[in-house]
Structure 1
Amino acid sequence: MCTRYISPEQREIEAFWRIDRRSNRRKDWQNLLTVFPLSLASFIRRADEVDYARELVVGQWGMIPPWSKSNVPTTARGTRLSTVNARVEGMEKAPTYKNAWARGKRCIIPATSFDEPNWETGKNVWWRFRRADGAPWGLAGLWDTWTDKETGEVWDSYTMLMLNADGHPLMGRMHKPDPTLPPDQQDKRSAVPIEAHDFDRWLTCTVDEAKEMLKVPPLELFDAGPVEA
């Protein structure tokens, strides 16, 4: 699962995705390039009531469940909940994600690169994943809106979709292996890139069509290796 990535600068996002409008430049947004869980960062969604228009907004990385009492995601019992990643195979039934998925609240997460841990040496070595063609990633995500009942403040938040990558020649090497499970049942995970020709389709298509677009990226798409100290 991905827990950190690097976002392009705003001008790069606007130029690459051809976006001219923003909707919610938050006062507490610091335009951080390295994004961690619960950071505020940019994502792209379909603009309301405008066909094929892309909207650049700022939201929290870590989807806020509808029952949460604060912007920090929690279970119904108040226990901290990790919502920066959503397993594709379970999102249709997961309480946090199912409504956003069913209502077509899909987004694109711009990323210059993202990091994953590699344990092949017996210790954690962070690897960085860029696109081999030099373009930024447009990673598949879901977004939703949550309102603080005490203050009335409205929060946009998002999650990054993750697909099973067991057996993938690159992504299957990431994360600490579970010695109690066979290689084909490790539940290794990969982010899901949306290619440039599919950006608008991802944001506007039907749920069934969107599901067909969720595929583990081919090896040749990656420029990957250990993060230099």
Structure 2
Amino acid sequence: MCNLYHVSPKQEIERHFRLIVEPKLAWPEGPVGPFGQGLLIRTNAQGERQAVAGQWGMIAPHALQARPSSRGVLTNNARIESVAERPTYRAAWSAGRRCLIPAQSYQEPNWETGRNIWWQLRRADGAPWALAGIWSEWVNPLSGELVANYSMLTMNCDGHPLLSRLHKPDPRLPADAQDKRSAIQINAADWDCWLQGRRDEAMQLLRVAPAEMFDPSPAQQTDELLARLRGRDGPEQGLLI
């Protein structure tokens, strides 16, 4: 899963996604966290790509407020395996309200040293990520304000040579059954199909990005730290620092 990401600069999004960002659009400042103000790309009534500001965290139908009252309830990530059944997401998924989430980078935790090291995941080619999402619109019952909102789709990445290294492992589960989660990159050739295609066509596009698409710097830095720890403590001492 992902709980923090950075939106790419406006001009980069316009160039990469081939769209015009409206001048009045409120641009996200700094990193985007759960229920923060982010950016999504969807198609308008004319079938053109459109950048829209919205809340990163889906608002449940008939909700009385934009975010759940419990701090433990997060809706910024939606599992692709259950998106069609979960009450918060199923209407958007059924209606084909799919979007792209443009991200300069997104953050995930690595626990291989025994403590968390945040990896900033960027593309090796420097281009923005186009992450798969779903979107909806919610009307505030008190003010009448229309609030765009969206969730990032995730899928299992157990066995991935890079992404399986992320997130704290559950010691009760075997390595191949951790159900670690990954955001889903949509390739440029598939954007229109993802945004406007049939649901079965869109499902065929959902796959974990290959390891070579990622900037290797975070993994290399962690590998160097692990090598130093092994050299200092020896394998019998463990890697806790």
TM-score by length of 2: 0.86
Aligned-residue sequence identity (percent) comes to 47
CA offset digits 1:164-188 (Å, max 9, x no partner):
0011111111000000111111110
- Of the two, which has the highest radius of gyration? 2
Aligned to 2:43: 46
Distance 2:71 2:36 in 1: 19
Distance 1:9 1:3, change over 3 A: same
3-state secondary structure, aligned to 2:204:
helix
Distance 2:186 2:177 in 1: 26
Q: Residue 56 of structure 2 is aligned with which of 52, 55, 61?
A: 61
CA offset digits 1:106-160 (Å, max 9, x no partner):
0000011111000001111001111112211000000001111111111100111
Is the CA contact 2:101–2:130 (under 8 Å) kept in the aligned structure 1? yes
Distance 1:55 1:30, change over 3 A: closer
Aligned to 1:81: 73
Distance 1:73 1:9 in 2: 30
Is the CA contact 1:161–1:191 (under 8 Å) kept in the aligned structure 2? yes
Of Structure 1 and Structure 2, the greater helix share is in: 2
Aligned to 2:139: 147
Is the CA contact 1:165–1:187 (under 8 Å) kept in the aligned structure 2? yes
3-state secondary structure, aligned to 1:203:
helix
Aligned to 1:116: 108
Aligned to 1:15: 15
Distance 1:23 1:96 in 2: 31
Q: Mind listing any 5+ residue stretches in structure 2 that lack a counterpart?
A: 222-241
3-state secondary structure, aligned to 2:130:
strand
Distance 1:133 1:20 in 2: 23
The answer on 1:166 being equivalent to 2:169 is no
How many residue pairs match? The answer is 220
Distance 1:145 1:179, change over 3 A: same
The answer on 1:194 being equivalent to 2:186 is yes
Of Structure 1 and Structure 2, the greater strand share is in: 1
Deviation at 1:34, TM superposition (A): 1.3
Deviation at 1:221, TM superposition (A): 0.9
Distance 2:21 2:28 in 1: 17
Q: Mind listing any 5+ residue stretches in structure 1 that lack a counterpart?
A: none
Q: Residue 138 of structure 1 is aligned with which of 103, 113, 130?
A: 130
Is the CA contact 1:62–1:73 (under 8 Å) kept in the aligned structure 2? no
Distance 1:11 1:162 in 2: 27
The answer on 1:31 being equivalent to 2:28 is yes
Distance 2:166 2:40 in 1: 25
Distance 1:226 1:215 in 2: 22
Backbone CA RMSD of aligned residues: 1.9
Aligned to 2:118: 126
Aligned to 2:2: 2
Is the CA contact 2:104–2:129 (under 8 Å) kept in the aligned structure 1? yes
Aligned to 1:72: 67
Distance 1:98 1:150, change over 3 A: same
Is the CA contact 1:72–1:80 (under 8 Å) kept in the aligned structure 2? no
